[in-house]
Amino acid sequence: MELLQISKKELLEFVGTLVSGPLDVFGVVAHDGRFAYDKLDSAANLRLDFDETLYSPKQYLFPPKDPVLSYTPGDAASCAPVYAEKDQAIIGVHPGDMAAIAMLDKAFTENKIDAHYCTRREKTTLVGIYPTKPGKYRFTSSMIKPEEPYLAADAFLIDMGDDSYTIEIVTDRGKEFFSASAAKPATADGKAKAEKMKTAVKDTVTLKIKREDLPPFLDGKERHPVWETRGAKCFSCGSCVTVCPTCYCFDMLDELDLSFDYGLRFRTWDACVLEPFAVCAGGHNFRTKAADRIRHRLYRKQKYLLEKLGLAGCVGCGRCKTACVPDIAFPPDIDDDLLRKEAHHV
């Protein structure tokens, strides 16, 4: 992999030129002492030293409300797909969120190409950053393999702990992206240091079960009392799913203009923890109980997607621990509960 180095000042100057150009540039900015992704209107607002963000960058590849079709009522021939048109770059994606995008890439191309996702993805340059601070509940190293973020990234930044970054160039798109910057080839010393700096910040939480052991661990625990205990506290609010970088379930919504002259069909985020999620034809709901919905979510995170895609449905970002008011959504806590009760029964 080609390694470049760039001073922090030069990187900001480069981002400044991007922001004033035709590209939509997204990055992390500070909001009331916390961090969030936003569209950058100035390079000075970009923060690469963030610990964690409330939402993930998924929103720029799979927007919460995305127009997919326009139509004129009563005229079937008028139906026309709507696709993303603008090129964009997301600068500052932690390895866990990058691995989540790799998982979305697989999910949206697995059986059938999702043209809306793929069009936007094709127009997106992804620049990762290795964390410079621990996340409050991050356990990414337990959930992803080091190579998985590179399935999605075009380039990765490594803060060298001085006034510079090392840039790992992953794809031709990444090479092209940084070609207009002041980056220079990294020195041999810089390369050795960069490898160490990648793992300088450790996770706060460690999962007690290895990732590959999670699917068999969950086998046969579908009727475990832990689901009822946690389900009794669940508000079915959907926050745990909304903040999750890997959740990709969606619904469709038609909005007709009041004139009845035209309409738009949107794809909107849905959540398996919401009560109506599993209502099917005929009005039957096959997951009426919160306990069943919570179990299903955890099984998606730690078993089903691993088995289906070979990539984890949880990348250990820790956001659901912060977002869930009754604090019942965090996978490591649920696993601990299952382990404790297992030990108790032995």
Residues that bind ligand SF4 (CB under 6 A): 234-240, 243-246, 273, 294, 301, 314-320, 323-324, 326, 328-329, 331
Which residues are 255's β-sheet partners?
264
The nearer residue to ligand SF4, 197 or 273, going by C-beta atoms, is 273
The nearer residue to ligand SF4, 105 or 168, going by C-beta atoms, is 105
The nearer residue to ligand SF4, 11 or 271, going by C-beta atoms, is 271
Q: How far is the CB of 274 from ligand SF4 (least distance, A)?
A: 8
Q: How far is the CB of 336 from ligand SF4 (least distance, A)?
A: 14
The nearer residue to ligand SF4, 92 or 316, going by C-beta atoms, is 316
Query: Cα 310 to the chain's mean position, in Å?
Result: 16
Tell me how far apart the alpha carbons of residues 23 and 173 are, in angstroms, rounded to a whole number. Answer: 14
The nearer residue to ligand SF4, 94 or 301, going by C-beta atoms, is 301
Q: How far is the CB of 157 from ligand SF4 (least distance, A)?
A: 22
Q: How far is the CB of 272 from ligand SF4 (least distance, A)?
A: 9
Q: How far is the CB of 293 from ligand SF4 (least distance, A)?
A: 8
Alpha-carbon distances, residue 212 vs 144, 243, 301, 302 (angstroms): 10, 24, 13, 9
Q: How far is the CB of 330 from ligand SF4 (least distance, A)?
A: 7
DSSP for 224-284?
A: -HHHHHHHTT-----HHHHT-SS---EEEEEEE-TTSS-EEEEEEE--TTSGGGGB-GGG-
Amino acid symbol at 288: T
The nearer residue to ligand SF4, 53 or 246, going by C-beta atoms, is 246
Amino acid symbol at 338: L
CB-based burial, 233-254: b 16+ in 10 Å, e otherwise? ebeeebbbbbbbbbbbebeeee
* CB-based contacts of 143, cutoff 8 Å, min separation 6: 96, 99, 207, 211, 312, 314, 315, 316
Edge to edge, the sheet with strand 65-72 lists 75-81, 65-72, 263-269, 250-256
Amino acid symbol at 233: K
Q: How far is the CB of 294 from ligand SF4 (least distance, A)?
A: 6
Q: Could you give the angle at the alpha carbon of 20 between the alpha carbons of 18 and 25, nearest 5°? A: 50
The nearer residue to ligand SF4, 25 or 317, going by C-beta atoms, is 317
